[in-house]
């Protein structure tokens, strides 16, 4: 019980570091504000036959990218910032092991991602419920009417929440990669820059590799970061399945966690 209490205090300390900063609330406000902006723009042009699920799907597609960016920034700085400012020494002199310190930081980063996703979902559903009708709730979003024959239960809400769930899985893997980068580099700015470069540039460039007809391409990380495509039976590469993509992502997640632990355990903080 004492061990759990000590770890809870450590986790609470890491969350305080995140939520005592104005930038955290600015990020969350931007997410909700962008949702509101998209809904108001849509409402100003078409408020008659629009379903709230249709607008919510568009907002998920657009704003979820922003959620991933903000979560990556938090994860990429949560360890490297301690080394940049020298506060890591204050943590390590406490009666906590390096493994517990690392785990608390990782959980705090994931909790921020979950919170940001919750803000996106809640604001999107609430705002669109107030502005639009729940028009045709048992059909798929009008943005992609061809999906109606593909989604198993034909429900717009089911499709939306499945999409959120699959996007959350891929974002967790991306955040874990950023968390690993944060443990490797002492510079906070460098860790964030590399993480965003991997997310925004390398991710898009790697999509070009899908054109290469080689088996090894199927095992690249970024090939499997679009799990939503499986909801409408159009995987990024022919022959790929959802279970295979989840297995590959799980392997990468495990690899990132192992490398993170190894680097953090061996990191010299004397300098």
Handedness of CA 200, 25, 129, 230 (dihedral sign): positive
The count of residues in the chain is 271
On average, the pLDDT of the chain sits at 82
Going from N- to C-terminal start, the domains of the chain cover 2-266
Three-class secondary structure of residue 235 per DSSP? coil
Torsion, CA 228, CA 232, CA 235, CA 239, rounded to 10: 140
Please write the tens of the pLDDT for every residue from 111-150: 999 999 999 999 999 998 888 866 544 444 444 444 443 4
Please write the tens of the pLDDT for every residue from 27-36: 999 999 999 9
Q: What is the DSSP string of 89-148?
A: HHHHTSS--HHHHHHHHHHHHHHHHHHHHHHHHHHHHHHHHHHSB--STTS--TTSGGGG
33 vs 27: CA distance, rounded Å: 10
pLDDT at site 152: 43
Q: What is the DSSP string of 164-176?
A: HHHHHHHHHHHHH
Handedness of CA 249, 252, 258, 259 (dihedral sign): negative
pLDDT at site 63: 93
pLDDT at site 255: 95
Give the model's confidence band at 252: pLDDT under 50 very low, under 70 low, under 90 confident, else very high: very high
Look up tokens 């950023």; give the residue.
178
Tokens of 99: 């493994």
pLDDT at site 151: 43
DSSP category for residue 79: T
Report yes or no: 170 and 72 within 8 Å, Cβ to Cβ.
no
**Selection from 17-26, 124-133, 189-198 with the highest mean pLDDT:** 17-26
Please write the tens of the pLDDT for every residue from 89-108: 777 677 677 888 889 999 99
Residue 89 CA to its chain's centroid (Å): 29
Report yes or no: 55 and 143 within 8 Å, Cβ to Cβ.
no
* pTM score of the predicted model: 0.86
- The region of weakest confidence among 106-110, 158-162, 241-245 is 158-162
pLDDT at site 155: 72
Give the model's confidence band at 232: pLDDT under 50 very low, under 70 low, under 90 confident, else very high: confident
Give the model's confidence band at 2: pLDDT under 50 very low, under 70 low, under 90 confident, else very high: low
């Amino acid at each position: 019980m004492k061990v759990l209490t000590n770890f809870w205090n450590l986790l609470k300390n890491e969350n305080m570091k995140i939520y005592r900063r104005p930038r955290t609330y600015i990020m969350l406000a931007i997410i909700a504000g962008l949702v509101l902006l998209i809904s108001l723009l849509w409402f100003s042009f078409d408020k008659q036959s629009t379903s709230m699920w249709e607008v919510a799907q568009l907002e998920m597609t657009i704003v979820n990218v922003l959620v991933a960016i903000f979560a990556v920034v938090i994860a990429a700085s949560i360890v490297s910032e301690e080394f940049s400012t020298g506060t890591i020494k204050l943590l390590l002199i406490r009666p906590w092991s390096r493994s517990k310190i690392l785990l608390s930081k990782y959980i705090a980063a994931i909790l921020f991602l979950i919170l940001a996703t919750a803000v996106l979902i809640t604001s999107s559903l609430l705002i669109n419920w107030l502005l639009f009708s729940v028009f045709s709730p048992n059909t798929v979003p009008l943005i992609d009417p061809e999906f109606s024959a593909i989604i198993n239960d034909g429900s717009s809400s089911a499709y939306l929440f499945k999409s959120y769930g699959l996007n959350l899985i891929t974002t967790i893997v991306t955040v874990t990669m950023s968390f690993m980068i944060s443990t490797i580099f002492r510079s906070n700015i460098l860790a964030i820059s590399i993480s965003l470069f991997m997310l925004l540039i390398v991710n898009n460039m790697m999509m070009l590799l899908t054109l290469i007809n080689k088996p090894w391409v199927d095992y690249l990380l970024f090939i499997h970061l679009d799990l939503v495509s499986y909801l409408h039976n159009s995987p990024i590469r022919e022959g790929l399945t959802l279970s295979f993509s989840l297995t590959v992502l799980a392997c990468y997640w495990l690899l990132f966690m192992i490398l993170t632990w190894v680097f953090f355990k061996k990191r010299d903080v004397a300098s």
